[in-house]
Amino acid sequence: MIDILPATELVQQQIKSSVDQQIQVLMANEDWINQIEQTIIESIKTRIIAKFSNISTVPDLVDTVKSTVSTLFEQGSVPDLKNYINQDLITQAVDRGVEELVASSINALVVDQEWIEKIENQVNQTMSDRLSKLLKSIDINSLLVTHIDQGINRWQDRLKKDFRTNGIVDQAQDTELTVMDGVVVVERDFVAKNVQVTQDLSIKNLIVSGTINTDNCSWRELKDLVSQQVLTATTEQWHQDLVQQVLERAKLEGINFESVLIDNQRLIENNTLSAVVVDSHLQSTGTLKSLKVAGSAQFGQTMHVSGRRVGINTQEPEMALSVWDEEVSVIAGKLSKQQAFVGTARLQNLAIGVNRVPQIEIDTDGLTTIKQLRVGRHRISHSGTVPGYSGTRGDLVLNSDPKPGTPFAWVCLGAFQWQSLHSAR
């Protein structure tokens, strides 16, 4: 939809131009001029006669004037009207009349919606046809590319020469800032009054020439982390260096422990270590006269003392004394009131002997085997024949192979004398 006012002005200009051209053509036409003159003469005659027609008192005069005027015009006695008519005035009068007529016609047309739509359609169609013809004759793509390239080149040259906005002044001769998807690269030094980072900040080399704000959580976290890392990294080496320095100085100057204070108490006084020393990491000591342990005590990987119990090769004693040797356990302690116990707490045989030879054996069922037995002064043993060794008077040897009619035992009468013992008959 086009605007009515510009369309109206366009129509007016076109009509006026066409009328001006037509008037110029008519003014050069002699026949048309004569026609205009004849029309004017007839009009003048009519008006003069009409003026005198109103004089009713002198009708004869009116008739005389009418006939006289008509005769003068008919005989050509009236001089050539070209001497009395200004052609420019007539042209101006015609122009004004035409313009008024055109203006009134246009005013009537501009309120005619149908005419306006017709004009719009004609203008649109005409403009469309002309633009189509013009565009067909023009290589739009190459023209656009050429003009765009020229415009870009001009702006690039201008930007390179003097790029300046309210916020940016470009004075660089080389590339200093590279903008890419997801990253902005500053090629050299970056200077700013304040830098605020909302997420992560990675710095290869940090140089601080001014002050650092230490009144914030981030600084305290950084300080604690750095302190811990430095402490961890230097503690071991510091300990080694300190010990080495102390040893070297002790070799040269010795150590006066009486002047060493801990909690305002002497570290060593009268050859006694201060009571404030409660922890140590001694690896060896001299001969101890006494040793008192208030809690648990661990002696190497062998003995463990805890809660009034002693464990050998175990940290969980089952009685007052618990000795483990691989899978075998021997315990000793209180079995019940006024009764002690020495044995095993598990399903294991128990052997008692000397020189690593068992002499008394108790199996898991409680059967006790004694290889040699002496009660008081007398031995009690077994033999399949009369003993042939010197015994002690009263020793008893049981027959291990008794048969009917044979003794069930022999008793020593002294030295090599043995008396047979038979069952009562």
Name the band, by pLDDT with cuts 50, 70 and 90, for residue 349. Answer: very high
Of 111, 132, 161, the one marking the end of a domain is 111
Residue 368 lies in a domain: no
**Taking 60 as the threshold, does the pLDDT of residue 362 lie above it?**
yes
Looking at residue 285, its pLDDT comes to: 79
**Taking 70 as the threshold, does the pLDDT of residue 104 lie above it?**
no
Looking at residue 146, its pLDDT comes to: 73
**What does the pLDDT look like over 31-69, one tens digit per residue?**
767 766 666 666 666 666 665 555 554 455 455 545 555
Lowest mean pLDDT, pick from 70-74, 152-156, 297-301 = 70-74
Residue 42 lies in a domain: yes
> Per this entry, what is the length of the chain?
425
Quote the CA–CA distance of 215 and 149 in Å, as a whole number.
Answer: 56
Residue 346 lies in a domain: no
**What does the pLDDT look like over 364-382, one tens digit per residue?**
998 998 888 888 899 999 9
Read off the tokens for 420: 């047979």
pTM here is 0.35
In degrees and rounded to multiples of 5, residue 26 shows phi and psi of -65, -35
Residue 303 lies in a domain: no
**Taking 70 as the threshold, does the pLDDT of residue 204 lie above it?**
yes
Looking at residue 212, its pLDDT comes to: 72
Looking at residue 393, its pLDDT comes to: 93
Lowest mean pLDDT, pick from 132-136, 159-163, 300-304 = 159-163
The DSSP output letter for 100 is: H
**Taking 50 as the threshold, does the pLDDT of residue 410 lie above it?**
yes
Residue 221 lies in a domain: no
**What does the pLDDT look like over 265-281, one tens digit per residue?**
777 777 677 767 777 77
Listed in sequence order, the residues at least 6 apart from 383 whose beta carbon sits closer than 8 Å to its beta carbon are: 397, 398, 399, 400, 410
Residue 324 lies in a domain: no
Segment 25-35 shows an average pLDDT of 68
Where is 297: in which H helix or E strand? strand 297-299
Lowest mean pLDDT, pick from 254-258, 330-334, 397-401 = 254-258
**Taking 70 as the threshold, does the pLDDT of residue 187 lie above it?**
yes
The DSSP output letter for 84 is: T
Looking at residue 416, its pLDDT comes to: 92
The DSSP output letter for 81 is: G
Average per-residue pLDDT for the chain: 75
Residue 278 lies in a domain: no
Which parts of 111-198 fold into alpha helices (H)? 113-136, 140-162
Of 83, 111, 139, the one marking the end of a domain is 111
Read off the tokens for 25: 């053509």
**Taking 60 as the threshold, does the pLDDT of residue 208 lie above it?**
yes
Looking at residue 113, its pLDDT comes to: 75
Segment 396-409 shows an average pLDDT of 90
Looking at residue 245, its pLDDT comes to: 80
What is the span of the domain harbouring residue 68?
4-111
**Taking 70 as the threshold, does the pLDDT of residue 201 lie above it?**
yes
Parallel/antiparallel/unpaired status of strands 272-273 and 268-269: antiparallel
**Taking 50 as the threshold, does the pLDDT of residue 20 lie above it?**
yes
**Taking 50 as the threshold, does the pLDDT of residue 304 lie above it?**
yes
Looking at residue 44, its pLDDT comes to: 62
User: By the 8 A CB rule, do 289 and 278 touch?
Assistant: no
Looking at residue 58, its pLDDT comes to: 47
Looking at residue 367, its pLDDT comes to: 92
Name the band, by pLDDT with cuts 50, 70 and 90, for residue 10. Answer: low
CB count in 10 Å sphere of residue 23: 14
Looking at residue 164, its pLDDT comes to: 64
Quote the CA–CA distance of 14 and 8 in Å, as a whole number.
Answer: 10
Of 90, 111, 132, the one marking the end of a domain is 111
**What is the total count of domains within the chain?**
2
- Give the three-state DSSP class for 60: helix
Name the band, by pLDDT with cuts 50, 70 and 90, for residue 84. Answer: very low
Tell which wins on pLDDT, 58 or 328. Answer: 328
Lowest mean pLDDT, pick from 6-15, 166-175, 351-360 = 6-15
Residues above pLDDT 70, as percent of the chain:
66
Name the band, by pLDDT with cuts 50, 70 and 90, for residue 217. Answer: confident
Residue 254 lies in a domain: yes
In degrees and rounded to multiples of 5, residue 197 shows phi and psi of -115, 125
